[in-house]
Structure 1
Amino acid sequence: MEHVKKLMRTETAIPGLVLLDLPVPGDNRGWFKENWQREKLLSLGLPDLDPVQNNISFNDAVGTTRGIHAEPWDKYVSVATGRIFGAWVDLRDGPTFGAVFTAELDPSRAILVPRGVGNSYQTLEPGTAYTYLVNDHWSQNAEYTFLNLADETVAIEWPIPLESVEISVKDQAHPRLAEVEPMKPRKMLVLGGNGQLGRALRRTFPDAEFTTRAEFDVTDPAAWTSKHWKDYGVIINAAAYTSVDAAESPEGRREAWAVNVTAVGAMARVAAANRITLVHVSSDYVFDGSVEVHSEDELLSPLGVYGQTKAAGDALVRTVPSHYIIRTSWVIGDGNNFVRTMASLAERGIDPSVVDDQVGRLTFAEEIARGIAHLLSAAASGTYNLSNAGSPMSWAEVAQVVFEVTGHEPGRGTPVSTSEYFAGRRGIAPRPLHSTLDLARLVETGFEPVDQVTALREYLTT
């Protein structure tokens, strides 16, 4: 070949479909090319394909026509010998459904075809060897999406008219675009689907797959081999051992480490191996509360077993290339919690003793779910503090707002220190006195946290 191209990427009108020019140096003996060079392609901004299978389709005759097949994996298409006319149609659910891109491929060109984009080609030279790498093993249970080669809507201009070439019976029977069911995105799995956060996530992500401990025991190694993980794009870990005081007991310590660390290590391995985005919900208890406001970059300093297990889980999640650590404080949602307890005491005429030296902000489960949805759409992975906004309050001040909103005298109750409240009790975990989270990084992504008092009033009146 006389002219040697430079390695170059060209974006197409189909998101994720990237055309590549490849250098193919040669002489009178032949030519050589680096067909797939991971480091160089990553430097061009391509995702890591992580191929597991290499396939070759050899075509004797000019005009061999195959497709249009959208597969549930990514593929990297190239030509070893000969030349093809390729046509790609976006068959994913979304605004570019039906978009078309065509190009000729020879040994100096390749194309990255994302999951759900229909792939087809027509050979332009005899003896054409069409090759492709894929990042999932072929399975007869895989769900494909197909489009007819002669569809009038996408109107592909085949170099050789379709009536002049041989097309398989299966390809001839594929539906027109109007009848195609778009390929859905990779699934979202939510672990801990029946907890306070899990129930809020059900309302935010109604199409996700939710599991409970009974259905998917995160501490059972067999659970992590029970799913075809290539079908999943996001795991949200809302499963956690949260019994702060019980974690200080021998039995509780074992269970806390099993759920909050060992299981998180298993999900991190699964996520990293299958290019899954892992969203992990953490806690202010990873800090000792010695500073008034905690940033995401503060060194971890947990006081008790629960905090130690959450900190260890955070470290494991950071090994996943695409991850979110969502650090929360004072979570309130469906079910039993501090706010419901205070409302019940007020209604029954009981004046409680409430701690006044622990200061922070409430985080309503609906706010966490809303924040997770925002961050996933913003594609801004990393560690984020996420709580409701507003001036920090003590638990005693929160109780006063609860009493007032529920129509009772807000001054009822006795403010006490943490040490006074737990005096004489055994097996009590240490609490951070300062739990306020710095929300600046979250706000920079465009998220506007709701004021905690506003959210608290709505929670109590709806």
Structure 2
Amino acid sequence: MQKIMITGAAGQLGLALHRLLRDDKQYKLFRTDAFATEDGMVKALDITNEAAVNDYISENKPDIIINCAAMTAVDLCESEEEKAYRINALGPKYLAMAAEITGAKLVHVSTDYVFDGLASSPYIESDATNPISVYGTTKLEGEKFVQEYCKKYYILRTAWVYGEGKNFVKTMLRLAEQNSKVRVVADQYGTPTSALELARAILFIMNTESYGIYHATCEGSTNWYEFAVTIFKEAGKNVEVEAITSEQYPTPAKRPMYSILENRAFHQRHGYYMKEWTDAFREYMRELNS
């Protein structure tokens, strides 16, 4: 029986992984998050506490560690840079060091925000990184620590994730209850990725010895405006969507204008393809409506 440790287990991706793994008898799950859940199923573990990470991993000896923990509030990272660095950089460092000592594989989830968004074609894994926000910078530092301190690592860069929890889809649906018109940025391009589809990709790659950096988003691409239009159409909501520019919607953190990722390593090494973003989104909406 393989022992799998999931950090950030109460988040969107952590919940999706639990859903796929909970009934599989070949795995024993160790689920942690910054705070324990009331049912006791998720234990409290502060990944920014090196001693606590070492103690937990040396005691439970997981075969695979899946790090879903991150400070993903992009704008908040700008004003809380030290906290972002601890969670997004030092946390992965401590997990990588402990994984190396115990011989565990480490799956680390990263982001499209490690790129500056100035490309004109989809980013591949070997493209130069150049983050333009504190979030992107701290996530890139986390990637570097993982590569430095752990031999058996998989870094999966993903984007625009939605699942069970707070996300863009839920925000749009909430706005639709209160407004007949919403304004959405139309000049930022990327790929909506369902947490469930990302979890499937993680389960595929973690059982290989094919270590390295992977891009892991659903196939295809869109912009936030078109995504919002799709959300309302799929939900049967009669909402007018006004396309605006990033300049018309200023935020504390700069966003990459173009952060479409190509899953080249998955395609070329394994012939593995994630679902088209529209298909994955319809799957998500069917479950949400049921």
TM-score (norm 2): 0.89
Match of 1:202 in 2: 18
The alpha-carbon distance between structure 1 residues 367 and 350, as it changes in their structure 2 partners (threshold 3 A), is same
Match of 1:171 in 2: none
1:256-288 deviation line (CA, Å, top 9, x unaligned): 001111121111111112211110000000000
* Contact kept? 1:230, 1:274, Cα under 8 Å: no
2:272 paired with 1:451: no
CA distance in 2, matches of 1:224, 1:377: 23
1:398-438 deviation line (CA, Å, top 9, x unaligned): 0010111111346x12101111111xx6xx10000011101
What is the SS of the residue equivalent to 2:236? coil
2:144 paired with 1:315: yes
Match of 2:8 in 1: 192
1:23-63 deviation line (CA, Å, top 9, x unaligned): xxxxxxxxxxxxxxxxxxxxxxxxxxxxxxxxxxxxxxxxx
- Whichever structure has more helix as a proportion of its residues is 2
CA distance in 2, matches of 1:407, 1:288: 35
Match of 1:362 in 2: 192
Q: 1:281 aligns with which of 95, 99, 109?
A: 109
* Contact kept? 1:229, 1:274, Cα under 8 Å: no
1:229-281 deviation line (CA, Å, top 9, x unaligned): 572211110000111111111xx111100111112111111111221111000
1:316-349 deviation line (CA, Å, top 9, x unaligned): 1112110000000111111111111112222334
What is the SS of the residue equivalent to 1:241? coil
Match of 1:435 in 2: 259
Aligned residues: 270
* Contact kept? 2:125, 2:264, Cα under 8 Å: no
What is the SS of the residue equivalent to 1:383? strand
* Contact kept? 1:388, 1:449, Cα under 8 Å: yes
What is the SS of the residue equivalent to 2:243? strand
List aligned pairs for 1:120-199, cutoff 5 A: 184-185=1-2, 187-199=3-15
The CA RMSD over aligned residues, in Å, is 1.5
1:84-103 deviation line (CA, Å, top 9, x unaligned): xxxxxxxxxxxxxxxxxxxx
Corresponding letter in the other structure for 1:194? A
The runs of 4+ residues in structure 1 deviating greater than 4 Å are: none
Match of 2:38 in 1: none
What is the SS of the residue equivalent to 1:232? coil
Structure 1 gaps of 5+ residues are 1-183
CA distance in 2, matches of 1:260, 1:295: 22
Corresponding letter in the other structure for 1:204? L
Corresponding letter in the other structure for 2:182? P
Match of 1:212 in 2: 33
- Whichever structure has more strand as a proportion of its residues is 1
List aligned pairs for 1:78-93, cutoff 5 A: none
2:211 paired with 1:389: no
What is the SS of the residue equivalent to 1:325? strand
1:123-168 deviation line (CA, Å, top 9, x unaligned): xxxxxxxxxxxxxxxxxxxxxxxxxxxxxxxxxxxxxxxxxxxxxx
Q: 1:256 aligns with which of 84, 101, 112?
A: 84
The alpha-carbon distance between structure 1 residues 225 and 375, as it changes in their structure 2 partners (threshold 3 A), is closer
Match of 2:25 in 1: none
Corresponding letter in the other structure for 1:420? Q
Counting aligned pairs with the same residue, the percent is: 35
Match of 1:239 in 2: 69
Corresponding letter in the other structure for 2:284? Y
1:200-226 deviation line (CA, Å, top 9, x unaligned): 011122232101112111112331232
CA distance in 2, matches of 1:232, 1:335: 27
Corresponding letter in the other structure for 2:67? N
CA distance in 2, matches of 1:267, 1:197: 18
Identify the range of structure 1 (413-422 vs 444-453) with the bigger mean alpha-carbon deviation.
Answer: 444-453
Corresponding letter in the other structure for 1:440? R
CA displacement at 1:448 relative to structure 2: 2.1
Match of 2:41 in 1: none
CA distance in 2, matches of 1:393, 1:311: 24
CA displacement at 1:387 relative to structure 2: 0.6
Corresponding letter in the other structure for 1:212? D
2:129 paired with 1:269: no
* Structure with larger RCO (C-alpha < 8 A, sep 6+): 2
